[in-house]
Amino acid sequence: MIEPEFWKYKTLQAMSAEEWEALCDGCGKCCLYKLEDAETGEIFYTDVACRLLDLHSCRCTDYQHRAQKVSDCLSLREELTEALKWLPSTCAYRLIGEGKELFDWHPLISGDPETVHQAGMSARGRTVLEFQVRDLEDHVVDWPAKD
């Protein structure tokens, strides 16, 4: 059973597995390939999605086995410090980690998992799968970081 508004008083580290999973807004942006400038550390988002991302639901098609199937897939919970810098500013994990509030379109606030898509905050309709791309550099976009 998830307590109401648990994210307001629990740290990410203190959340149960059920609370942790509920915090995900389903935007799919974490499953987009990102590039990091080796000199500056700046992160660049692409519109290229991991092969396991369902482009409509914006959910992983094999969440339980993703790390075995995609070698560079980060487990947010296990690698939180490293992973937070790769997450967009709208991500609930990043927001809570930075002591900020969730947006009104977040399903925990709205009560509806579709609001993230209706608000235009997800990757739905804006991505291609990795096997359709040759050079990631040709697919750098700014919308995941600016939404």
Tens digit of each residue's pLDDT (9 = 90 or more) over 101-120: 999 999 999 999 999 999 99
Q: pLDDT grade, residue 7 (50/70/90)?
A: very high
In a domain, 74, yes or no: yes
> What is the arithmetic mean of pLDDT over 74-83?
74
| Total structural domains within the chain | 1
120 part of a folded domain: yes
59 confidence band (pLDDT: 50, 70, 90) = very high
Residue 62 domain boundaries: 13-146
Contacts 24+ apart (CB under 8 A), 95-104: 96/7, 96/11, 96/12, 96/23, 97/12, 102/7
133 domain-assigned: yes
- Sign of the CA dihedral 47, 48, 50, 52? positive
Strands (E) across the chain are located at 32-36, 43-49, 128-129, 140-141
- C-alpha pair distances (Å), 51 with each of 60, 74, 122: 9, 15, 17
In a domain, 107, yes or no: yes
DSSP annotation of 76 reads: T
CB atoms within 10 A of CB 7: 22
Alpha helices (runs of H) in the chain, residue ranges in sequence order? 17-23, 66-69, 80-84, 92-97, 107-110, 115-118, 143-146
